[in-house]
Homo-oligomer: A and B are copies of this chain.
Amino acid sequence: MIRIGIYGYGNLGRGVESAIKQNNDMELVVVFSRRDPASVKINTESAKVCRASEAAAYKDKIDVMILCGGSATDLPVQTPQMAKLFNVIDSFDTHAKIPEHFDAVDKAAKESGKVAIISVGWDPGMFSLNRLLGEAILPEGSTYTFWGKGVSQGHSDAIRRIEGVVDARQYTTPVPEALEKVRNGENPSLSTRQKHTRECFVVAEDGADLTRIENEIKTMPNYFADYDTTVHFISKDEILRDHSGIPHGGFVIRSGKTGDSEHNHIIEYSLKLDSNPEFTSSVLVSYARAAYRLNTEGNSGCKSVLDIAPAYLSPKSGEQLRKELL
């Protein structure tokens, strides 16, 4: 049994807990939280809840710590810290800061002799893997990533910060015509506006100036100004009834040519996810297995999904995999 610890018990932590139950070779040993353990109710009877500050006491009691904090402030501190004690997995997703995060975690993991796998999930994660495979197999071509249809947490938060807004949910959707052109091998150059549209469902305070709110959303730099944005004002009841899920997904498409450039090929990888955090959690758990095994074989240091041989993710033996899946 691979003994797992969860560090941070929000949507992602709860998803990891569920995913562990689907894997017979793993058990959840402990959940670490910043909150008072007495106030944290978990769904695994055999596991304990402890204060985050007590993690070091579990040094020899768990095989992999799965970090479930946020990328903005939690993981840059927590992943290097925990890598000094444990094999660790995180879902660090601030793309621009991955290189510096990698270096900090690598240093810690090499000192402790542990394996750390960072930026695990679907983007970064499975989408990264497919971007790499696409360009390695078809060097003459273009890669396209589309996101959605799905809820963007960051954009929903940005709307909530506008004066007069009570709640908001923002969906990102690929433009169907753009997807179609890419799939047809047309290799289009696509502007930001041509790739995705943004749809916002907003609950406003009674008597708020809806025209001002809509205008503030649509002209918000970086978040909305470069997109075709639609704003719908709805009631509190409606947002709860129709928009409480966290679906997401997207597409990675590689379009490339071979021969004397007369043959076109399309490789398409897509995800349609009912729950973004639960899917990410499921990916984290499969990479926890890989981290454990790699460390058992004597490896240490920081890695990403690009560095992990797929066989390490499966509980099946090499023999079984060749017989059943190859």
Q: Which of A286-313 contact B (CB under 8 A)?
A: 286, 289, 304-311, 313
On whether the beta carbons of B271 and A325 are closer than 8 Å, the reply is no
Against B, the Cβ 8 Å flags (1 = close, 0 = not) of A305-326 are 1111111011100110111011
On whether the beta carbons of B258 and A278 are closer than 8 Å, the reply is yes
Interface status of A259 (Cβ within 8 A of chain B): yes
Contact partner of A314 (CB less than 8 A), chosen from B135, B140, B304, B305, is B135
Least CB separation from A284: chain B residue: B137
Against B, the Cβ 8 Å flags (1 = close, 0 = not) of A139-164 are 11000000000000000000000000
On whether the beta carbons of B258 and A265 are closer than 8 Å, the reply is no
A140 and B282 alpha carbons, distance in the complex (Å):
11
Known contacts A22-B140, A326-B98; decide if A265 and B273 are in contact (CB<8 Å): yes
Interface status of A230 (Cβ within 8 A of chain B): no
Whole-angstrom distance between the Cβ of A145 and the nearest chain B Cβ: 10
Known contacts A264-B274, A265-B271, A319-B99; decide if A133 and B313 are in contact (CB<8 Å): yes
Least CB separation from A136: chain B residue: B313
On whether the beta carbons of A132 and B321 are closer than 8 Å, the reply is yes
Q: What chain B residues lie within 8 Å of A309 (beta carbons)?
A: 306-309
Question: Total interface residues on A, using CB and 8 Å?
Answer: 66
On whether the beta carbons of B275 and A313 are closer than 8 Å, the reply is no
A171 and B141 alpha carbons, distance in the complex (Å):
27
Q: What chain B residues lie within 8 Å of A140 (beta carbons)?
A: 22
Least CB separation from A96: chain B residue: B323
On whether the beta carbons of B271 and A267 are closer than 8 Å, the reply is yes
On whether the beta carbons of A279 and B304 are closer than 8 Å, the reply is no
Interface status of A7 (Cβ within 8 A of chain B): no
Q: What chain B residues lie within 8 Å of A183 (beta carbons)?
A: 272
Q: What chain B residues lie within 8 Å of A44 (beta carbons)?
A: none
Interface status of A70 (Cβ within 8 A of chain B): no
14 CB contacts below 8 A, A to B, read: A124-B326, A126-B137, A132-B311, A132-B313, A132-B314, A135-B325, A136-B310, A137-B279, A137-B282, A258-B282, A263-B278, A265-B273, A267-B271, A309-B309
